[in-house]
Amino acid sequence: MLTDRASGILLHPTSLPGAFGAGDFGPDAYRFVDWMVSAGQTYWQILPLGEIGHGNSPYMCMSAFAGNILLIDLIELSSHGWLGPEDLTPHPDFRPDRVVFALLRPFRIERLRRAAKNFFASDHDDMHRSYTEFCIAESEWLDDYSLFMTIAEHESWREWSHWPKELVQREPQALRQFEMNHADEVDFWKFCQWCFARQWSDLRLYANDHGVKIIGDIPIFVSYQSADVWSHQDLFELDENGRPTFVAGVPPDYFSETGQFWGNPLYRWDIHEKSGYAWWIDRLGHALQFADLVRVDHFRGFASYWQIPADAPNAISGKWVAGPGEKLFETFVKVFPHLPIIAEDLGLITPDVIELRDKFNLPGMRILQFAFGEGEDNFFLPHHYVSNTVAYTGTHDNDTILGWWDSLPAHEKDFASHYLQTDGQDIQWVMMRAISNSAANIVIFTMQDILGLSGEHRMNLPGSSAGSWEWRFSWDQVQPVHSKTLAKMSQEYLRIPHHPERDA
């Protein structure tokens, strides 16, 4: 349950400035924390930090535990002598306003390989000891992940069910032989995860020491092409060949006549229950090593989820199936008594979802952009908010406020103008004030809205196969008025908690 009033900013680290094609855990991340403090902000909300796969989406990770190695700070690696000055020359076609993933990945991977080679050839006893300790501590997932990535690359990134049969079925002798034959490659992936964990832990500690808390993000489902599904095939709805029998999605609704066919394999919840939900306990515990609290995406799937036959052409033929419900969360509470979870309770929400959320005192979400289509009774209007809520003007899936306002139907714009008492001038600040003045204990703004950017700068367009996850800002867009206005707003609406670093 949320008890203190505060506000924060939604910004994925890839959207930070930086010379090497995308934001990372380098100097600009620390500068962003400093800027948040000057702006009176308490929460930095990020998207999932996992290793991205097809489509570059952070919600389709190749591991529920491994971090996105493209976020590793190359400058920090060079400080240990693992990279030279020539490695820190940016690609000439990198863009300051967009992540060009086709350039970014080979550029970063090449340098990470050089760094790994130099690290293993070095005599840094303390760093080698740190690396070994990390590999031992995280072996439960790290061994499978590093082997999965090594095999996947060797197999030209084909889906794992198309690998040689003995590797698909994880025959112990075949796995041992492959690992021995590709030991350097396995070590490379472990080295990258060590660097990721070390750098993010330092950044999070810096943020916490300055009064900034991290809100992480856990997608409820995992990607089929992931180390998790390959190494825990019994936990997922798969056939004898390792192919999904049923997959995730959502039914037809106002936005789509055929629903959404996500394609993630579904869980065998009965098997999870027999294990005491061990994999989920490990997953949440791991996420809380990297964040102070986590948003669980598609929370409604724990109450019931849309089950679609894997061979269906779309989501129409799916059906609702009961999820683990209270059993899972009762297990969570035994391990994580305060249950630091934000329930993403958007979409088609039924009474059982609300009952599950409220039984465990989990804060839900409210989105102001959704508020103006149904009159004064609309659930998303600020006067309906309750304290145990995280309120947003919009999320990474929404248009920016300016883009939303420009495309709003006339009747909704009229209602919004009347409700917010605005003619649309500085609409982003009007809407940020509206949720700041609400009862919601936490309010979150996107960086795009703080900067007053148009719809061209949105982070994600759901259902679009290209162009998402690429947006970046630059420091020359950030003006003193932005931090001053935010700080004043936070103070006016009692959203600046006491912290020694802020009061110094």
Residue whose pair of structure tokens reads 């306003």 in the numeric block: 97
- Do 275 and 209 touch, CB atoms closer than 8 A? no
Structure tokens that stand for 120 in this block: 């293993």
51 catalytic? Reply is no
344 catalytic? Reply is yes
Dist. CA 361–CA 463, nearest whole Å: 32
Q: Angle at which helices 172-181 and 183-209 pack, to 10 degrees?
A: 80
Pairing state of beta strands 364-367 and 319-322?
Answer: unpaired
Question: Which of 28, 73, 185, 297 is an active site residue?
Answer: 297
Phi/psi of residue 213, nearest 5 degrees: -100, 150
Structure tokens that stand for 310 in this block: 């894997």
One-character DSSP codes across 7-28: EEEE--GGGS--SSSS--SSHH
Dist. CA 236–CA 365, nearest whole Å: 29
Question: Which of 344, 345, 399, 470 is an active site residue?
Answer: 344
Dist. CA 295–CA 215, nearest whole Å: 7
Question: Which of 155, 166, 202, 397 is an active site residue?
Answer: 397
Dist. CA 233–CA 22, nearest whole Å: 34
Residue 122 DSSP code: S
Q: Which residues contact 347 (CB under 8 A, 6 or more apart)?
A: 250, 253, 298, 300
240 catalytic? Reply is no
> 216: which strand partners?
294
One-character DSSP codes across 375-422: -TT-TTSGGG--SSEEEES--TTSPPHHHHHHH--HHHHHHHHHHHT-
- Do 423 and 417 touch, CB atoms closer than 8 A? yes
Integer Rg of the chain from CA? 23
Choose among 281, 283, 320, 275: nearest CA to 302: 320
Residue 455 DSSP code: G
CB atoms within 10 A of CB 410: 7
Structure tokens that stand for 68 in this block: 């996105």
Q: Which residues are marked as active site?
A: 297, 344, 397
